[in-house]
Amino acid sequence: MKAIHKILWRIGAGCGAALLAAGCTTNEMHMEVSYDQLQFGAQDNVARNVNVAADGAWSCEVVPAEAASWLAATNDNNEVLVVEAVGDNRSLEPRQARIRLRDAEHNALLKTIAVTQEAWPEEAVWISTAEDELLFGPGPKDEVVQVDVMDGVNWTVEVAPEAQQWLTAVRTGEKGVLVRIKGNDGEQMRCGTIQLRTTEVDAEPCLIRVYQLSWAQDKLAVEFDGGELTANVGPEAGEETYFRINSSFVSGFYQVYTATVAHATFEEAVPVSWLRVEQVNADESLWRLQTTEANRSAVAREGFVVLYCTYKVDNRSATVICSARVQQAAAAQ
């Protein structure tokens, strides 16, 4: 009998604990939501409101944590859950996240709302650049062009066959193109095309037009008397000559200065101490070049008149540095 009593006592104690636990559940928060699933477009940033009926305060969180980069959830006065896609889905696949609603006091999970953002539409622009036209001076140069491409999309770079002898373009990093050009020794400006194309999607390619001026155009900018590109002046101070700027070449802002190096920019130029230039006429096409010091050396010396200008072609522009040599004769023996 004692054994039977012990068994009955244990059963009764277990039932009492179960009843006590059941009694505690009556204090759990009750919650209802108007939506348990939400869907956003790839570029959809319109907020969605989810009505929440709860008998207490609640909190919300986005999971997984990395989804917070594109999805935001806010508790509005414990009555409305405001959900917003704060980032475009620039990928080939849709993405998912969840919003968990919890009892603010006990942290008990009450509801879970599933959120999906659609993939980038195939008819949209998959690859583009901020600059679709580049204009270079006649010298060799490298330039990196930033590419705006959808996440997860592979892409290729190709130069049109007719420009491959002087123009190359290769990918650099995840979203860059290194454009490299050789010097243009020809008589005319030249043009080539770079094509960027996606491999997963049959989308329109992105084209970059590249223009390069020629050295022949460069040499037309500064001309001394008689059309000479080199000025020879005597050894004394006060020797002078004149030069002209071809106004049909120069379009926009430009500066004229002396330098010890032919193609030094205005910021880099080391002025020639024995030369100065000054404007003669109002339209800035005629300039006077004058020696300020006598050359006492037995060896002739040289410097350069440099024209730093902006060249424009159909609303595109490039900086061109043009120069002409100035030689001062040696002192008379």
Tokens representing residue 290 in the block: 């004058």
**At which of 70, 97, 117 does a domain end?**
117
Phi (first) and psi of residue 7, to 5 degrees: -65, -45
The C-alpha R_g of the chain, in whole angstroms, comes to 38
Would you list the DSSP string of 167-201?
A: EEEEE-SSSEEEEEE----SSS-EEEEEEEEESSS
Residue 155 has pLDDT above 80, yes or no: yes
Q: Are 329 and 295 in contact (CB under 8 A)?
A: yes
Q: Which residues pair with 289 in a beta bridge?
A: 241, 277
The answer to whether residues 133 and 89 belong to one domain is no
Burial of residue 34 (CB within 10 Å: 0-12, 13-18, 19+) is exposed
Residue 135 sits in a domain whose CATH number is 2.60.40.10
Least confident of 102-116, 147-161, 180-194, 211-225: 211-225
Task: Between 55 and 263, name the one with better pLDDT.
Answer: 55
Residue 16 domain-assigned (yes or no): no
Residue 269 sits in a domain whose CATH number is 2.60.40
- In this prediction, residue 216 carries a pLDDT of 60
Residue 213 has pLDDT above 80, yes or no: no
Residue 20 domain-assigned (yes or no): no
- In this prediction, residue 189 carries a pLDDT of 79
Q: pLDDT class for 214, splitting at 50, 70, 90?
A: confident
Mean local confidence (pLDDT), 143-172: 90
Tokens representing residue 263 in the block: 């193609």
Range of the domain at 39: 29-117
Average pLDDT over all residues of the chain: 81
Reduce the DSSP state of residue 17 to 3 states and report it: helix
Nearest to 295, CA basis, from 240, 246, 249, 237: 237
Residue 21 domain-assigned (yes or no): no
Location of structure tokens 């290769």: 170
